[in-house]
Amino acid sequence: MPAENPIRLPLVAVPSNRDSSTAKDAKLVNCYAQKDDAGEYQIYKRPGLLTYQTLSGDGGGTYNWLGDIYSAFGTTLYKNGVALAGVIDGTNGKYAFSQCQGATPKLIFGNGVKAYTYNTASGIVQITDIDFPASFVKGWAYLDGTTYVMDANAKIYGSGINDPQTWTALNTIVANSDTGNGVALAKQLIYVIAFKQWNTEVFYDQANPTGSPLGAAQNAMIMWGCANADSIQDADGVLYWVAINRSSELQVMAMENLAAKAVSTKAVERLLDNVDYSNVYSWYLRDMGYKFYGLTFPNSNLTLVYDISENLWHQWVDVDGNYFKAISQVAAPGLKHIFQHATNGKLYYADLGYYNDDGAIITVDIVTPNFEGPSRRRKTASMLEVLADKQVGSELLIRNSDDDYGTWSNFRRVNLGLKRPCLTNCGTFVRRAYNLRHQSNTSFRIRAIELQLDEGTL
């Protein structure tokens, strides 16, 4: 009996992988979803990339200080694309940046092996004070004029007031409310956050007359630690990171106003269960009302992107189908957003108005959950209509799987420049999943597909 009205298949689905692989089940790749005023989701292609600067070396982090863009590549620090005099350490990946105020503001940066300050008058100067830790974990916290850093023994060191080149042996405190090595240091509101191996401790400025000014906020301790310092991102005051506990379970957490909660889903945690987290890239991007936390495990060839605004997870890949190779992101003057490539020595503008990655086509893949329709009976799809923006030169490739993602049909092409883009004679099925693929050098926005079904009797 023919259906009176077509059945609409919404396309937004959370990752629903049944195990630690992304090979099966629903997912959104190289796109993100936004809910419109009517409460209906629409899917957009992710921002494209355009070369901003070609420098040299592996990416080592970016930072906007006083309106200038600083980028570390290999053993060189660049300011607005111009190499600064002096050699920096290039042995421990991404740098963590901070700054101090006072009469002589300074940029501060360190990678856990060496630390430096910079300003125009002094240039790049390594921090070599005898009371500065010989080795330290990544991250800084600037609070009330003091710059804090932590070592692997969870000992927190404080600098002179607005003087990160000067340190004293007495200005120290140990994060020892519970056991565990130090992993990273950060700041939230007026608190210093000490991320450790199995837990996270919080400190505040207690204004002690001797020793460290810090005091422990005992009731704010979190019984989750940090798996990798490079996973930590400050997203407008909210901290995101890959957390770990004593049972070695990974999840992604967010800390807002010192309260922590998990933001990873069970499916995402199944993916995390098998990743190599010894090397991690992360970044935060906010553009046109969208907020994304990007998390990459290069050794596992996986980039996961958390859409903070919509509380949804997606997967992003590069033009070769491998992990998205951004190691950091920085906001530039003029509302520009810049990604730093992990290995090719380039900085890229990122924008929704770029429909490709520096001339290479972006592949968007939408894989739907299995669909059974109103019953488990066999159904004949006489027509499939695509509800997407009309765009001349844009095509959508559509294929389907009727055996639980085991095999796929050949792709069929749909011209999105037509008034009513559709396919006819779409076959018979009991249970079906669709894969919609967009590979055109155009914008792309899609809302749903509609199926006209004729239902059988068995």
Tens digit of each residue's pLDDT (9 = 90 or more) over 218-246 = 899 999 999 999 999 999 999 999 999 99
Q: Which two tokens stand for residue 179?
A: 């056991």
On the question of pLDDT at 14 being above 80, the answer is: no
Contact 293, 235 (CB under 8 A): yes
DSSP 153: T
- What single-letter amino acid sits at 253? M
CATH of 7-46+365-455, one of 3.10.50, 3.30.565, 2.60.120, 2.40.50: 2.60.120
Contact 446, 43 (CB under 8 A): yes
Chain length of the chain: 458
Q: What tens digit of pLDDT does each residue of 322-357 get?
A: 999 999 999 988 888 999 999 999 999 999 899 999
DSSP line for 389-427? ---TT-EEEEEEESSTTS--PPPEEEETTSSS-EEE---
Tens digit of pLDDT for each residue in 151-206? 999 999 999 999 999 999 999 999 999 999 999 999 999 999 999 999 999 999 99
Largest CA distance in the chain: 84
Tens digits of per-residue pLDDT, 262-295?
Answer: 999 999 999 999 899 999 999 999 887 789 999 9
- The per-residue pLDDT for 10 is 83
**Range 346-369 average pLDDT:** 96
At 195 the pLDDT is 98
- Collapsing DSSP to helix, strand or coil, 245 comes out as coil
Q: pLDDT value at position 19?
A: 84
Quote the percentage of the chain above a pLDDT of 90.
Answer: 86
CB 229 within 8 A of CB 196: no
CA distance 14 to 23: 15
Q: Distance between CA atoms of 350 and 88, rounded to whole angstroms?
A: 27
The domain locations on the chain are 7-46+365-455, 48-360
Looking at residue 289, its pLDDT comes to: 78
384 touches 450 (CB < 8 A) = yes
48-360 CATH, one of 1.10.3720.10, 1.20.1630.10, 3.90.220.20, 2.130.10.10: 2.130.10.10
pLDDT at residue number 342? 97
Spatial CB neighbours of 378, under 8 Å, sequence gap ≥ 6: 428, 429, 430, 455, 456, 458
The predicted structure's pLDDT at residue 45:
96
Predicted confidence band of residue 456 (pLDDT cuts 50, 70, 90): low
pTM of the complete model: 0.95
Tens of pLDDT, residues 88-147 = 999 999 999 999 999 999 999 999 999 999 999 999 999 999 999 999 999 999 999 999
Higher pLDDT pick, 38 / 336? 336
The pLDDT assigned to 223 comes to 95
Give the residue-averaged pLDDT of 8-23: 84
Task: For residue 1, name the pLDDT band (cuts at 50, 70, 90).
Answer: very low
Plot region of 237 (φ>0 → left; ψ -120 to 50 → alpha; else → beta)? left
Whether the predicted pLDDT of 87 surpasses 70: yes
Q: How many CB atoms lie within 10 A of CB 368?
A: 22
Select from 291, 298, 450, 314 the least CA-distant residue to 385. 450
Q: Which long-range contacts (CB under 8 A, 24 or more apart) does 1-6 make?
A: 1/454, 1/455, 2/382, 2/452, 2/453, 2/454, 2/455, 3/452, 3/453, 3/454, 3/455, 6/383, 6/385, 6/450, 6/451, 6/452, 6/453
